[in-house]
Amino acid sequence: MLGSIDTDSPLVLDERDADGIEQAKASLIVAKQAQEVAQLFKSLSDPTRVRLISILAENELCVHTIVEVLGMTQSAISHQLQTLRALRVVRSRKEGKHVYYTLDDTHIGDLFKQGVAHIQHG
């Protein structure tokens, strides 16, 4: 078969392979950090959460405003915001009876904007 790997033959590495392996190992993310990054990207895996991030990237909004903007139920919005808070994507503050949400830090907004730029580019 074209492009298949012969698993019966022993793997022979030359010096260039060894250098490449060492360079790759040096840039390999540790497992715990990989899990955290995967969780962050999980926050972007749901269209509703992406829409929430899009409006919170530029605004601090209360839940009632978010409900109106997205045209969804308060329960559905609260569920998604709870998920985003658990993933440290958004933070909240309470003012009287209102809870306001915004992105946790600028990195989240930058990541979102890079994602949008990527799909617009291609």
Neighbours of 113 (CB within 10 A): 13
Q: What is the pLDDT of residue 26?
A: 92
For the four alpha carbons of 105, 110, 113 and 115, in that order, the dihedral sign comes to negative
pLDDT digits (tens, 9 = 90+) for 61-85: 999 999 999 999 999 999 999 999 9
Q: What is the pLDDT of residue 74?
A: 96
Instruction: Give the global pTM.
Output: 0.77
* Domain 15-121 grouped into CATH 1.10.10.10: yes
pLDDT digits (tens, 9 = 90+) for 20-51: 888 999 999 999 999 999 999 988 899 999 99
Nearest to 50 by CA among 111, 100, 104, 98: 111
User: Amino acid identity of 31?
Assistant: A
Are the CB atoms for 104 and 53 separated by under 8 Å? no
User: Quick one: tokens of 62?
Assistant: 């209360």
The mean pLDDT value for 2-22 works out to 72
What is the domain partition of the chain in residue ranges? 15-121
